A and B are shown apart, each in its own frame.
Chain A
């Protein structure tokens, strides 16, 4: 059974940091792009970041660029999101998701949808 499980959320003061983790099982993690997507309380969904299969390709939403860093360890079947310089506006449930994006020869990265999601980990930024 394919499964994603996030951990590492919590209550942190503005300016603080956390490291979110996402453990994958039931599929070959190294075959896929992976993304983090967040949802503020009572709000919609916002894509945050993606990482390519070998970790060399990454991108970030403008709202987190320079503060968040995504990485992966395929040997440990895990994805990570280091979140630094947190702001109250970063308060949200953070989901990791399997990203169906892929590199197409002569076309580059083709963005796709997210077909498998974890249940999320809550990050609360408050003094």
Chain B
């Protein structure tokens, strides 16, 4: 199965700063079949990005995704208070679908 490694484990930033989250796959993710989710404490994950770079319905344009092959990035251009959460990447190009271990974006 494809193992996804996210870095850093924790990102400490201030509101208004830019966040850059990395997701690296153990083998190439076919057709850029990579998604990003946001999860807040005691809440369900929310789909942010699919197909590596496509924003899901209702997701603000300060969220953007990029990458292909084995290296993917989620960027948040200007952090708002509501953006402090844990972010997971997920590949769906190969079975079983797998998730990264998460990056926590916390207030500095």
Q: Mark A residues whose CB is within 8 Å of B.
A: 43-47, 59, 61-62, 95, 100-101, 111-120
- A44 and B97 CA atoms in complex are apart in Å by 13
- Other-chain residue from A101, A117, A120 in contact with B46 (beta carbon distance below 8 A): A117
Q: C-beta contact mask, B79-108 vs A, less than 8 Å → 1, else 0? A: 000000000101011111111111000000
**How distant is B71 from chain A, measured CB to nearest CB, in Å?**
19
Tell me whether A44 and B100 are in contact in the complex, defined as CB-CB below 8 angstroms, given that A95-B44, A117-B44, A118-B44 are known contacts. yes
In the complex, what residue of chain A is closest to B4 when comparing beta carbons?
A44
Q: 19 A–B contact pairs at CB < 8 A?
A: A44-B100, A44-B101, A44-B102, A45-B45, A45-B88, A47-B99, A62-B96, A95-B44, A101-B92, A111-B92, A111-B94, A111-B97, A112-B33, A113-B47, A113-B92, A115-B47, A115-B50, A117-B46, A118-B44
Complex Cα–Cα for A66 and B82 (A): 41
Known contacts A113-B35, A115-B56, A47 near B97 by CB under 8 Å: yes
Which B residues touch A119, using CB under 8 A?
Answer: 43-44
Chain A residues contacting B97 (CB-CB under 8 Å) are 47, 111
Q: A119 — nearest CB in chain B belongs to which residue?
A: B44
B83–chain A nearest beta-carbon distance, Å: 18
Bound CA–CA A85/B46 (angstroms): 31
Contact: B95 with A59, CB < 8 Å? yes
Contact of B99 among A44, A116, A117, A118 (CB under 8 A): A44
Evaluate contact between A61 and B96: CB separation under 8 angstroms: yes
CB neighbours (8 Å) of A111 from chain B are 33, 92-95, 97
Contact of B90 among A45, A95, A118, A120 (CB under 8 A): A45
For the complex, what is the distance from the CA of A120 to the CA of B92, rounded to whole Å? 21
Contacts of A45 in B (CB 8 A): 37, 45, 88, 90, 99
Instruction: Report which residue of B37, B92, B98, B100 has the largest number of chain A beta carbons within 10 angstroms of its beta carbon.
Output: B92
Chain B residues lying within 8 Å of A62, measured Cβ to Cβ, are 96
In the complex, the chain B residue whose C-beta lies closest to that of A111 is: B92
